[in-house]
Amino acid sequence: MKKDIHVVGAVIVDNGKILCAQRGASKILPLKWEFPGGKIEKGETPQDALKREIKEEMHCEIEVGEQMEHTVYEYHFGIVHLTTYICKLIDGKPKLTEHVAIQWLLPDELQTLDWAPADIPTIKKLISLATHK
pLDDT, one tens digit per residue, over 4-13 is 999 999 999 9
pLDDT at 131: 81
101 alpha carbon, distance to own chain's centre:
14
Query: What tens digit of pLDDT does each residue of 84-95 get?
Result: 999 999 999 999
Residue 133 has pLDDT above 80, yes or no: no
Domains delineated in the chain: 4-131 (3.90.79.10)
* pTM for this model (two decimals): 0.94
**Rounded Cα–Cα distance for residues 13 and 39 (Å):** 21
Query: What tens digit of pLDDT does each residue of 36-55 get?
Result: 999 999 999 999 999 999 99
| Residue 31 main-chain phi, psi, to 5 deg | 65, 10
49 alpha carbon, distance to own chain's centre:
12
Residue 132 has pLDDT above 80, yes or no: no
pLDDT at 38: 95
85 alpha carbon, distance to own chain's centre:
8
